[in-house]
Amino acid sequence: MSQLDNCSRCGRIYVRNLSGLCDVCRKEDDQLFDKVYQFIRKRQNRAATMLQIVEATGVPEVTIMRFVKEGRLKPAQFPNLGYPCERCGTTIQSGKLCAICAGKLESDLKQFEHEEERKRKIEEREKKTYFTED
């Protein structure tokens, strides 16, 4: 049996689907996507910036960024499209972090693991120490 859910945008009850939106909101979302896609599909608009797309289409920047994150708009085809890195805000075209933040996170994780290993060795060394009473 189909499961019912509340639309994440308007709160209406609908039969759950992959989009997480009711039919009304999904159609509105598709119309916004079509408006953006029709604009950037034109050769002269392929290199448009996010601000230019927002001004020309009236579609909110957040919605356009969601289209990019969902993979509906491919940054490879439209080089100036992207969304902000979740850590520093630099414009990126895939993932959640830019290369610099990902590298920093990786180095911090390695440092943490090294520190944990050092603590483990100290504890192990202390366990091997024997004390005698006089």
| Inside any domain, residue 80 | yes
Residue 134 included in any domain: no
The domain in which residue 82 lies consists of: 22-127
pLDDT score for 90: 87
pTM of the model: 0.66
Say if 114 falls within a structural domain. yes
Residue 87 forms part of a structural domain: yes
Residue numbers of the chain with a pLDDT score lower than 70: 1, 129-131, 134
The answer to whether residue 15 sits within a structural domain is no
Residue 36 lies inside a defined structural domain of this protein: yes
* 78-83, long-range: CB < 8 A, 24+ apart: 78/40, 78/46, 78/47, 78/48, 79/46, 79/47, 80/47, 80/48, 80/49, 80/50, 81/40, 81/50, 81/53, 82/50
Residue 76 located in a structural domain:
yes
Structural domain count of the chain? 1
118 lies in a domain? Answer: yes
Give the model's pLDDT for residue 107: 95
